[in-house]
Amino acid sequence: LLLLASCGEIAYGRPGFGSLYLDSRTEYLLLVAIIVSIWLVVFVRHTQHAAVGGAVTKWYLHRNTDRSATRCCGGSAVALGLWHALRYHAGSIAAGSLLITTLKLIRIAFFLLKRTFYQRVSRGLDACGCNGSNRLAAMCLCCISCCLKCVEKSLEALSRYAYAQMMRSKRSFCPSAAEAVRLLTTNLAGAASLRFVAAAFLFLGKLLVAAGCAFLGWRILVQAPPYDSALYSPLAPAVCIFFAAFAVALVFFGVYNMALDTIFLCLCADKERVDAGMPPLGRAHELSSVLGVPIDAPAPQHPRGKGGRRMLETPAERSGSDPSNNPFSRGSGVVDDGGYRI
């Protein structure tokens, strides 16, 4: 971006001021570079969501005694989730990130339009070139801007659930998003309560981390030489440390946020299995009471079909020595409506 911007010519005005002029081709390339940069940033963020969703799904479906599913990627669940996200679902992640990027670009374009409108109003002209300010148009612009922000936040939350469902069921982005919406609407009360409590605790955690870092920095600036004598006031550096630590905490606590969404989605799928008369899988009995999703069913059994053949395998049997039985291997087994292999 800086290289393209440096291709322009500077036209100097009054002393200390100037303007940068770019030809039409350079402006087009600069616009494309900005759009691609935003897309790449959103893609990296969504890849993180998918990798965390895959790691948490693997943890949910396997007990601590099951070590066979961690034999690749150095035994790291996060590395395995990242591998499967980039190997099998890179196109789905790119499609989801493109959707969010498009909405962000619409909001940016609308912000520029609103800014131009306010500049015309400040000069005594409304959008039609008439005298006076148009209060109704300003109110409509504010309402549209608020609606676009709400839609963007809603799609970002939906994309997290879609990536969790995508890593759980091994489907593409759109079917996973539709399935995630269906599971959330079925358990709407639990999703709302979990989101409210989780948001409160996550915000308190971010605030605690930022305040702790700011306090530690303030103590160092007050007691450690040469800052104790050379620094006029430790207030400004402490405030900067607080905001920097809060920004870092936003990234790290996003992992916990994605993990909660994935576990809740897996519990909702297990609840549907119980309602259909099938036993839950994974850690449903351990986590149902914690997240408020009641699952009243006995321990997982093995229902038998005709001829006495077992129809459902345990997580340990599904991830045995045969690589085709690994629930993270693409194309292995048959996937039912809940996303589990039978």
Q: How far apart are CA 223 and CA 155, in angstroms?
A: 48
Helix (H, G, I), strand (E, B) or coil at 11: strand
Q: How far apart are CA 197 and CA 29, in angstroms?
A: 45
Q: Supply the pTM of this predicted model.
A: 0.71
pLDDT at 326: 44
pLDDT (tens digit per residue) in 119-138: 776 665 544 545 445 677 77
* β-sheet bridge partners, residue 9: 21
Mean pLDDT of all residues in 288-296: 57
pLDDT at 282: 67
Q: How far, in whole angstroms, is CA 109 from its chain's centroid?
A: 23
The more confidently predicted of residues 6 and 93 is: 93
Mean pLDDT of all residues in 98-125: 82
Task: Give me 274's structure tokens.
Answer: 């119980």
Residue 317 has pLDDT above 60, yes or no: no
Which of 87-101, 185-199, 221-235, 309-323 has the least mean pLDDT?
A: 309-323
Q: Write 178-181 long-range contacts (CB < 8 A, 24+).
A: 179/339, 180/265
Residue 206: pLDDT band (50, 70, 90) is: very high
The more confidently predicted of residues 125 and 214 is: 214
Amino acid at 139: M
Per-residue b or e along 159-181, where b marks 16 or more CB atoms closer than 10 Å to that residue's CB: bbbbbbbbbbbbbebeebbebbe
Give helix 24-61 / helix 77-88 axis angle, nearest 10°. Answer: 130
Mean pLDDT of all residues in 267-288: 74
Residue 50 has pLDDT above 80, yes or no: yes
Residue 295 has pLDDT above 50, yes or no: yes
Task: Give me 229's structure tokens.
Answer: 């004598």
Sorted by sequence, the CB contacts under 8 Å of residue 69 that are 6+ apart come out as 58, 62, 80, 319, 326, 327, 328
Residue 324: pLDDT band (50, 70, 90) is: very low
pLDDT (tens digit per residue) in 154-167: 888 889 999 999 98
The more confidently predicted of residues 325 and 81 is: 81
Decide: 279 and 299 in contact? Cβ < 8 Å. yes
Residue 338: pLDDT band (50, 70, 90) is: very low
Residue 14: pLDDT band (50, 70, 90) is: low
Mean pLDDT of all residues in 52-70: 70
Q: Which residue has the tokens 């982005």?
A: 173
Residue 315: pLDDT band (50, 70, 90) is: very low
pLDDT at 18: 65
Residue 13 has pLDDT above 70, yes or no: no
pLDDT at 15: 65
Question: What percent of the chain is modeled with pLDDT above 90?
Answer: 18
The pLDDT mean for the chain works out to 76
The more confidently predicted of residues 281 and 315 is: 281
Decide: 147 and 140 in contact? Cβ < 8 Å. no
Give, in degrees to the nearest 5, the angle at Cα 128 between 122 and 131: 50
- C-alpha closest to that of 53 among 171, 189, 196: 171
Mean pLDDT of all residues in 200-217: 92
Q: How far apart are CA 96 and CA 163, in angstroms?
A: 9
pLDDT (tens digit per residue) in 73-91: 445 778 888 888 888 899 9
pLDDT at 269: 83
Exposure of 120 by Cβ count < 10 A (0-12 exposed, 13-18 middle, 19+ buried)? middle
Give the helix ranges, DSSP H, for the chain: 2-5, 24-61, 77-88, 90-122, 135-169, 173-186, 188-223, 227-230, 235-275, 284-291, 315-318
Sorted by sequence, the CB contacts under 8 Å of residue 227 that are 6+ apart come out as 220, 221, 234
Give helix 24-61 / helix 135-169 axis angle, nearest 10°. Answer: 40
* β-sheet bridge partners, residue 310: 304
Question: What percent of the chain is modeled with pLDDT above 70?
Answer: 69
User: What are the φ/ψ torsions at residue 151 (nearest 5 degrees)?
Assistant: -65, -40
Q: How far apart are CA 35 and CA 250, in angstroms?
A: 24
Mean pLDDT of all residues in 251-264: 88
pLDDT at 65: 46
Residue 211 has pLDDT above 90, yes or no: yes
pLDDT at 126: 46
